[in-house]
Chains A and B, each alone.
Chain A
Amino acid sequence: MGTPAGLIGTTAFQGLAVSELTALGAAGLPLLVVQHPLGGERPESVARRAQEALEQLASLIGRTA
C-alpha cells in the first residue's frame, strides 16, 4: 500500500508542484501550501506559518491537531 505522503511548498511554487504531480501521475497527492516567502522571515512569522501549516495538515489527514 505504500507510505502515506504529501508535499509541502510555498504559494509561489504551487503551480510547479501541481504540474509536477500531474506529470508524474500523482495529481491527487495532497498539497500543504505555506504563504511565500518563507526564507528570510523572522522567527515569529515562521512560527505563525508553522501553526497554519499544522492546521492544514490536520485538515488534510482528517483529524484535529
Chain B
Amino acid sequence: MSAGAEAPAPVAESERFIEVDDDPQALLAAFCERRWCDGLPIVAPTEARVRAMLAGRAPERSLGAMPPLWRQVTLEKLAVNAVMAGCEPAYFPIIVAAVEGMLDPTFNLYGVQATTHPVAPLVVVHGEYGRSVGVHAGSGCFGPGFRANATIGRAIRLIMLNIGGAWPGRHDMATQGSPAKFSYCIGENVEASPWGPLHADDVVTVFGGEPPHNVNDHVSTTASGILTTVADTAVSLGSNVGWFMAQSQLMLVLGPEHAATVAGDGLARRDVQQFVFEHARLPLRILKLSGMWGMHDWPLWMQATRDDDALMPQVLSPDEIVVFVAGGPGKHSAVVPNCTFSRAVTRPIRS
C-alpha cells in the first residue's frame, strides 16, 4: 500500500472454505488477496491438518471474543492459524495458553491490538513442556532459526490479524509497527539461570512489550556494573514506561553471562529487581523536557515532587520488573519495556 493510503476492507471474511491450486505461490496469493495472512508463505490449512492440530479437542469450544472486532475465538480458528503459521500439533497447547492469557482483561488486548504504539505480545514459555517441544531459550532465542519460537509467535500474530481483525492501518493503528509483530516467542533458559526458573511449572507468560532493547556490557565484572548498564537501558524519554505509571512494567531478559556476574556478587532475583527499580530513574528536570510531559499519569506523590533533581522511577515497585534468563554466550541482555496499558499475564499449559 502506498504511503498515507488507508487499507481497504478485507474481502470475503466469511468464506469458510476456498479452493486453491496445489501450488505454494497460488496459495500465498489467495490468502494475501483476502488479507488472511501476514505476507509470508503459509501452510495450507486443510481440514486434515486442522483436525491433526486439534488432536481431538472440541473445535467449537470458544475461549471468548477477541478485539477489536470481537469475533469468537474457537479452538478450530486457533488451529487454522496454527497450521498456517507452520506449527507442529505439539505447539498447540502453548498457543491456547497464550491466547487465554491475552484474553484476560488484565492484558487489555483491545489496547494492544488497536494502539499506535508498536507493542506485540511477547510469549515466554516456561517449564519442561516447552523445552520438550523445542521452544528455544539459548543463543539467538529472539530469532531467527527455531521453528517452535518462529511459528508459535507467528501463529499468535495470525490469530490477532484473522480472528481479532487487527489489520494494520485499519484496526491495528500502530504508527510504524515492529518486526516483533511478525513473531515474538522465547523460552526461559533455566539451565543457565543462577536463580532457578521464574516459573517451574508449564506456563506461558504474555507480555505486551516493545521489541528487545539491547544491553551491551562487555566490561563490567560486578553486579553493580552490569545492572547500572541495564538500568540506563531501561530509561528513555521515548518510552511509554515512566509516563503512564499504573501499568508500567519492564521485562529484563538477562543473558547467561550477565546473570552469572550478577549472581556472583550474591544478588538474588529480588535484589536485581530492587537495584533496577532504584537506579532506572531520570531527574524531574529531564522529564520536563520531553514531549510526554503534561500527558503523564503519575500517582500523587510523584505529581507533588518539586525538586528538579529528584530521581523519578520508571515503574511503581520492584514487583513490576520481571527478571529471568534467556540467551547464550556473550555479553548482551535485553530490556523489554511494556506498552503501559497492559500487564503481564501467566497461564498454565494444558497438554
A and B bind: yes
**Residues of A that sit less than 8 Å from B by CB:** 12-13, 15-16, 19-20, 23-24, 39-40
Q: Which 8 A-B residue pairings sit nearest by Cβ, starting from the closest? A: A23-B70, A23-B69, A16-B171, A20-B68, A15-B170, A19-B171, A16-B114, A16-B173
**B187: interface (CB < 8 Å):** no
Please report the C-alpha to C-alpha distance between residue A15 and residue B173 in the assembled complex, in whole angstroms: 10
Contact A16 B291 (CB under 8 A): no
Please report the C-alpha to C-alpha distance between residue A13 and residue B115 in the assembled complex, in whole angstroms: 10
Q: Which residues of A contact B68 (CB under 8 A)?
A: 16, 19-20, 23
Q: Which residue of the partner chain B has the closest CB to A22?
A: B69
**B153: interface (CB < 8 Å):** no
Contact A19 B173 (CB under 8 A): no
Q: Which residues of B contact A16 (CB under 8 A)?
A: 68, 114, 170-171, 173
Q: Which residue of the partner chain A has the closest CB to B291?
A: A40
A43: min CB distance to chain B, Å: 11
Interface membership of chain B positions 68-105, coded 1 if the CB is closer than 8 angstroms to chain A and 0 otherwise: 11110000000000000000000000000000000000
Q: 8 Å CB contacts to A: which residues of B160-206?
A: 165, 170-171, 173
Please report the C-alpha to C-alpha distance between residue A56 and residue B68 in the assembled complex, in whole angstroms: 26
25 CB contacts below 8 A, A to B, read A12-B173, A13-B173, A15-B6, A15-B170, A15-B171, A16-B68, A16-B114, A16-B170, A16-B171, A16-B173, A19-B68, A19-B69, A19-B165, A19-B170, A19-B171, A20-B68, A20-B69, A23-B68, A23-B69, A23-B70, A23-B71, A23-B165, A24-B70, A39-B295, A40-B291
